[in-house]
Structure 1
């Protein structure tokens, strides 16, 4: 018979700088499948500022990217024990962001950017978190298809929702786009859409536009 047990677990994350707790903005940036937070946060280096803290959590599941040796990547979940992984992600992100926020005398604005697999993970977590999120950026990914729509409608009522897709992204199919449009329609919420010339990666020019418009 199957049983489960909870135990203390250590997870890793990376910062743009050591927090002063005087920052006006926090960006929680969530990597995609097979990436590591250490390298993902570097993609935002040109936006590092004393007034903005970037926090890059790392998925707690790891695998070799090719075969049984070499480069290792992290992921937020697989189909195996999926619900357990989702619950673990929520506890991790609740604890991480909450630990920082409680030290701010003046609460900063909170922005969340999820890339690829990190996008669906971000929407699941953000829709159940107990604090306001000012903007949610879904890049080369989208809303989790199993999102609790009623809960999400209420949670995202005052959140700016942004969707960014490359016009040559081999990972984004027409079926994916159709399902996302159907879900967005059910959300009954305006979503700001951007398309950029490129594939499955962050576009520096569009990234600058999105981050700067939220300062």
Structure 2
């Protein structure tokens, strides 16, 4: 007599704590919210430092942190966060959406009128930013893809409607070893599917934020 057994892998939903960094407590009078997404292996409290010089009474900076963590080298030392890996990818995406929806809901409770929403995604954060914003329920004034691009699994019709009136910019360094000519052309083709004209900006540098260019973008200096 033989017997067989089958292992079922199941999932459980439970309250989970996620982190974010913010330039200051919102007063409800800010005219702009900048939602900035870090890249792979970064942490929000360090990433937001690049943006703090641009925060003031009219501009709130909000940096959510990826909910997956790991050591950056070997099994000890510095720890970084990421938005997802290939493992249980769809679950990570759903968790990100719930986290970001709730974060924005709580922040916007301070406002009687919704301020302009600007979204910047750096590297891996660009795909997460576009994937979330593409199905969010409020308009996005500006979307900046810095050293990254649109997620290719966006629901095209939904994203086309959501970003119809969104100003989109693609920014990358001319010496960025992670940006290839093929990836740029792939993004350009995707922009066509979205029926969007996208402004491309470059700077002399690698896979990094360039502060002078960042200042021009945020302060609308040309």
TM-score range, shorter chain: over 0.9
Matched, 1:168 2:175: yes
Matched, 1:14 2:21: yes
User: Which residues of 2 match residues 39-118 of structure 1 at below 5 A?
Assistant: 39-118=46-125
Q: 1:41: Cα distance to partner?
A: 0.2
User: Which residues of 2 match residues 123-142 of structure 1 at below 5 A?
Assistant: 123-142=130-149
The runs of 4+ residues in structure 1 deviating greater than 4 Å are: none
Give me the whole-angstrom Cα distance separating, in 2, the residues matched to 1:110 and 1:81: 30
Per-residue CA deviations over 1:149-173 (Å, capped at 9, x if unaligned) read 1111100001111110110001112
Say if 2:167 and 2:198, in contact at 8 Å, map to a contact too.
Answer: yes
Per-residue CA deviations over 1:26-59 (Å, capped at 9, x if unaligned) read 0001100000000000011221211111000000
* Matched residue SS, 1:171: coil
Q: Which residue of 2 aligns with 1:5?
A: 12
Q: Which residue of 2 aligns with 1:150?
A: 157
Q: 1:70: Cα distance to partner?
A: 0.1
Matched, 1:177 2:184: yes
Gaps of 5+ in 2: 1-7
Per-residue CA deviations over 1:63-107 (Å, capped at 9, x if unaligned) read 000000000000000000001101110110000011111220122
Give me the whole-angstrom Cα distance separating, in 2, the residues matched to 1:140 and 1:8: 33
Give me the whole-angstrom Cα distance separating, in 1, the residues matched to 2:183 and 2:165: 26
* Matched residue SS, 1:128: coil
Judge which range, 174-183 or 25-34, deviates more.
Answer: 174-183
Gaps of 5+ in 1: none
Give me the whole-angstrom Cα distance separating, in 2, the residues matched to 1:27 and 1:47: 10
Total equivalences in the alignment:
214
TM-score (norm 2): 0.94
Say which one has the larger Rg: 2
TM-score (norm 1): 0.97
Give me the whole-angstrom Cα distance separating, in 1, the residues matched to 2:11 and 2:180: 37
Q: 1:206: Cα distance to partner?
A: 1.0
